[in-house]
């Protein structure tokens, strides 16, 4: 799953908390990165229920900053990730 999060999500610890959520959920590998246009991109691979749980957290309002919206796409895992990184 790749998700793009828009709103006030940079400079507020959003990447750190996203990584912590992925680790808490478990079974999710990938990364989170700030984009030049102010959005945050989240790439998560793992079992669908765990990825959906991370997506639900992104939309929950329990994140730092202020999320205005989340857009996601689902695709086959490509692999190559070890753990969940902040980029």
Task: Name the active-site residue from 6, 24, 34, 87.
Answer: 34
Strands (E), the chain: 2-8, 28-34, 40-46, 66-73, 84-86
Residue 36 Cα distances to 25, 40, 50, 64, 81, angstroms: 28, 9, 28, 19, 23
Q: Is 34 a catalytic residue?
A: yes
Task: Name the active-site residue from 6, 8, 15, 76.
Answer: 15
The tokens describing 63, both together, are: 């994140």
Angle (nearest 5°) at CA 22 between 56 and 64: 65
- Which positions are catalytic? 15, 34
């Amino acid at each position: 799953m790749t998700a793009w999060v828009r709103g006030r999500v940079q400079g507020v610890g959003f990447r750190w908390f996203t990584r912590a959520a992925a680790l808490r959920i478990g079974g999710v590998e990938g990364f989170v990165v700030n984009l030049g246009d102010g959005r945050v991109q989240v790439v998560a691979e793992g079992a669908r229920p765990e990825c959906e749980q991370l997506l639900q957290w992104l939309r929950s309002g329990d994140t730092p900053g202020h999320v205005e919206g989340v857009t996601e796409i689902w695709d086959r895992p490509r692999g190559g990730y070890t753990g969940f990184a902040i980029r």
